[in-house]
Amino acid sequence: MAATPSTGNKPGGVIGWIEERSGISAVVNAGLHVRIPMSANTMYFGGIALFLFMIQAVTGTLLSLYYKGTPEAAYKSVQYLTSDVSFGWLIRSIHHWGANLMILFVALHLLRVFFQGAFKFPRELTWVFGCLLFMVTLGFGFTGYLLPWDQRAYWATVVGTDIAGGVPVVGETLRLLLLGGSDITGDTMSRFFGIHVLVLPLALAGLLAVHLILVHQLGLANPKKMSPRPPAKNDPNEPLRPFFPHYVIDEMVAWYIILAVLVVLSSIWPAGLEEPANPILTPMHVKPEWYYLAVYQLLKLIPIKIIGILTPIIGIGLLVIWPFLDRSPEVLMRRRKFAVGGATLIVIAMIGLTVYGYVS
């Protein structure tokens, strides 16, 4: 009679059956049982952004069950979802506010990493993928804005695609690619809907996977320690704490707070719906969403259009490659006065342009 293999301390039941056939516990242990620097201060911005993406995936899937992506039916499907579907207004409002908060927290996460100098060696690629994630997140906001097919959505999209059309050399081609023609039509809605629910989620999931792998492999940066700052797990002199359960519990508390904020915002200021889109009736004071207002206002203030369009493009390009330009080993803010001071002025200018664009 053949001997029965020893199970040792392996789990039994369903969990043991899955473990024997997948070896998944090794992956889970590698992800959870790591140690991070005691001095690391992420402010939970990255984790909150990840949580908001999960909220967007769930609420977006629920919305897609009722949404009809044609100009003739889109507005009525959103109206039906908001008025007649049980808790439909709440799901749509959470999706709306979740999108705004996700963009905000991804931006805050980037700012935190920059000011702490956490983009420096050996984390340059982590920064690059974080910047790409930020651009994809902005793409979600842009493509999702048209889908309700009301007046504000239609004409804000007109403004946005006109700005894209002003990009030197490739502008007109880019505009035609976005619109599917010379004007916003059903082809435009089909493209925006496809990009919003398929292309961008796949792009974000892929970029996010690489970003998280890099964070896991390199560890969290110590904002008080200068270069070369090797990964914390390889530094015997770095005071550490367990990622699980200590840091995970803190993250979950932040997630519950954000979920409560989402419900409160959605209940007090639910997502609205204006009149159906009318291509021949231009409303007064057409403006994009707040996260594009700074660029919109900059274009209004700079008389030479091409300069206004090139300024944010160059700015984004510099943002992506900044770790390869700033090779100083210094990470403390008081020793990076030029970079920190310049970034502070840019942030203040962006906030000022956004407020000016909102009130003007």
pLDDT of residue 1: 47
Residue 82 lies in a domain: yes
Residue 16 lies in a domain: no
Residue 269 lies in a domain: yes
Residue 71 lies in a domain: yes
Distance (Å, whole) CA 225 – CA 335: 12
Expressed as residue numbers, the domain containing 118 is 26-359
Distance (Å, whole) CA 41 – CA 257: 18
User: Could you give the number of structural domains in the chain?
Assistant: 1
Distance (Å, whole) CA 296 – CA 311: 12
Residue 259 lies in a domain: yes
Distance (Å, whole) CA 79 – CA 284: 23
pLDDT < 50 regions, the chain:
1-4, 6, 227-230, 232
Residue 102 lies in a domain: yes
pLDDT of residue 95: 98
Residue 260 lies in a domain: yes
Angle, helices 124-145 vs 186-194, to 10°: value is 150
pLDDT of residue 223: 85
- Does the predicted TM-score (pTM) go above 0.85? yes
Residue 40 lies in a domain: yes
CATH code (residue 173)? 1.20.810.10
